Amino acid sequence: MFEQQYKSQEVFGVTTEILTPSYVNRGGLDARIEKLLGRDTHIALRGESKCGKSWLRKKNIPDAITVQCRLGKGVRDLYTDALAQLGLQLVTERTSEKGFKANLEASGEFAVKLLGKIAVKLGLEGELKTSAKSIPVGRDLDDLRFVSEIINESGRRLVIEDFHYLPHDARKAFAFDLKALWDYRTYVVIIGIWSENNLLLHLNSDLTGRVREVSIFWSADDLRAVLEQGSEALNISFSRQICGRLIHDSYGTVGILQTLALGILDEAGVERRQPSRVEISDEGAYESAAMAYADQLNAQYQTFAARVAAGIRRRTNATGIYAHMLKVVMEASVADLSSGFPRDQIYRLAAQREPRIQKPNLRQILLKIDGLQVDGEGRGLVLSYDEQKDEVFVVDKQLFFYRQYATAKWPWESIIEQVDETGAGYESDLEFDLQPVAS
């Protein structure tokens, strides 16, 4: 029987394309998503960073209108991006204090055809300008029926990725839009990281019965199945010890597992399917692969640390609170940061280090923590503060792996030392100014 001669990077690793030889449909999740896609419901896919949400979306909704959220974006930005992916742009011109003139313009063959369908539906086919590929419309992006008609005519599903990047107010506003979109038979898939069950229902209780949340998580058995399936494709096996370390160090995240598996194969010199079965058992090779991965992550997390440190103007009264808070959070257990680390607990531990820290001031710092981390394009969240639950949780679980294998000194440790040496206070001035820093 012919065996496909896979290369190792065609089996393991993190790529934009689905690596079929190691793709595991855990718990029949693909069938569940397919069933929900055939129903009149919004779908919320909740899962941690690197848990395979993108592969799941690409496999089950290959032709989606995929909009990426970024910190600082509003709901209108999501609709603007959705139209742009269809090759459409709504150009508005204000004619008075309350009036406006708008044209819907198309670029590309698909967009032109779509524009023609919309013109017919709106009774504007006579207004379609062939040369300009545009039609006048008396609506804007605040008209959800209009947005819904365009998406429905495209025949494609709207997918909102990285929903957790939206500010709380924008998330709540979009949750209310989802009720109207459901009424217009436009069903949306929302993908993101959040710590509580049924986030959208908490944001808008009217979505009850109109949205189904699906939690994406990996058990140890699921991760083991990825290794076994990929091993068969390459005619190799991982020893019990190596398999155990791969699963433990992945922290329930398949992306980490995939990266480590490819790394140890590189260290072992396995580049393609083996002619006879080879066991991967060298613990030294695993250590080298893990350290190499941690070294790759070093730039990412040191940039994160530097961005947060630089994001606070160096007022003595503010930096002490900030520095002790970050030290407590970054040293918290995997369980605490995964399920949500309460502010009460952060305060208690930080106050043990520095009794002058006050709890209300700590909340003001936490409210700004998301904005301090991101780059100029609104990306790069590692930690997030859930204002409703009053908890901090980890967005990127690679942080746990990095903490385990890297020996870097964080900048807030130096700030604590500096503040302690000067003997400066922490609470006399609440006018600290938290400013995000461009990358």
pLDDT of residue 99: 59
Query: pLDDT band at residue 124, thresholds of 50, 70 and 90?
Result: low
| Contact yes or no for 43/207 (Cβ under 8 A) | no
Query: pLDDT band at residue 127, thresholds of 50, 70 and 90?
Result: low
Alpha helices in 38-127 (DSSP H): 53-60, 75-85, 109-121
Give CB contacts under 8 A, 24+ apart, made by 29-33.
Answer: 29/56, 29/214, 29/216, 30/56, 30/59, 30/60, 32/214, 33/60, 33/214
Q: How far apart (Å, rounded) are the C-alpha atoms in residues 132 and 1?
A: 58
Q: Residue 265 corresponds to which tokens in the numbers above? A: 């194969």
- Average pLDDT on 410-429 reads 65
| Contact yes or no for 394/195 (Cβ under 8 A) | no
pLDDT of residue 439: 40
Query: pLDDT band at residue 426, thresholds of 50, 70 and 90?
Result: very low
For the stretch 380-400, pLDDT in tens is 889 999 888 899 999 999 999
Helix (H, G, I), strand (E, B) or coil at 434: strand
Q: Is the pLDDT of residue 425 over 60?
A: no
Domain boundaries, the chain: 8-21+219-294, 304-422
Q: Residue 201 corresponds to which tokens in the numbers above? A: 């229902």
- Average pLDDT on 294-299 reads 92
- Main-chain phi, psi angles of 213, to 5 degrees: -95, 135
Using CA atoms, how far residue 290 sits from 71, 228, 260, 408, in Å, is: 31, 20, 7, 15
Q: How far apart (Å, rounded) are the C-alpha atoms in residues 123 and 117?
A: 10
Q: How far apart (Å, rounded) are the C-alpha atoms in residues 299 and 301?
A: 6
For the stretch 190-230, pLDDT in tens is 999 887 788 999 999 999 999 999 988 899 999 999 999 99
Which residues contact residue 379 at a Cβ distance below 8 angstroms, ignoring those fewer than 6 apart?
70, 71, 165
Q: Residue 437 corresponds to which tokens in the numbers above? A: 């820093």
Among 109-123, 189-203, 255-269, the minimum mean pLDDT is found in 109-123
For the stretch 37-94, pLDDT in tens is 999 999 999 988 888 888 888 899 989 999 999 888 899 999 999 999 999 998 876 5
Q: How far apart (Å, rounded) are the C-alpha atoms in residues 146 and 156?
A: 16
- Residue 233, judged by CB atoms within 10 A of its CB (0-12, 13-18, 19+), counts as buried
pLDDT higher at 124 or 298: 298
Query: Global pTM?
Result: 0.84
pLDDT of residue 138: 72
Mean pLDDT over each residue of the chain, to the nearest integer: 86
Percent of the chain with pLDDT over 90: 52
pLDDT of residue 147: 92
| Contact yes or no for 100/140 (Cβ under 8 A) | yes
Q: What is the DSSP letter of 408?
A: P
**Most confident among 18-22, 131-135, 243-247, 302-306 (mean pLDDT):** 243-247
pLDDT of residue 134: 77
Candidates 239, 248, 81; CA nearest to 162 is 81
pLDDT of residue 98: 59
Dihedral sign for Cα 47, 48, 54, 56, please: negative
pLDDT of residue 94: 58
Q: Residue 219 corresponds to which tokens in the numbers above? A: 């058990």
For the stretch 1-49, pLDDT in tens is 457 899 999 999 998 889 999 999 887 889 999 999 999 999 999 988 8
pLDDT of residue 125: 60
Q: How far apart (Å, rounded) are the C-alpha atoms in residues 328 and 346?
A: 6
pLDDT of residue 2: 54
Query: pLDDT band at residue 315, thresholds of 50, 70 and 90?
Result: very low
**Helix 283-310 and helix 359-373: axis angle, to 10°?**
110
- Average pLDDT on 300-307 reads 88
pLDDT of residue 251: 94
- Main-chain phi, psi angles of 312, to 5 degrees: -110, 125
Q: How far apart (Å, rounded) are the C-alpha atoms in residues 18 and 132?
A: 39
**Helix 144-154 and helix 109-121: axis angle, to 10°?**
130
For the stretch 162-189, pLDDT in tens is 999 898 899 999 999 999 999 999 999 9
Helix (H, G, I), strand (E, B) or coil at 388: coil
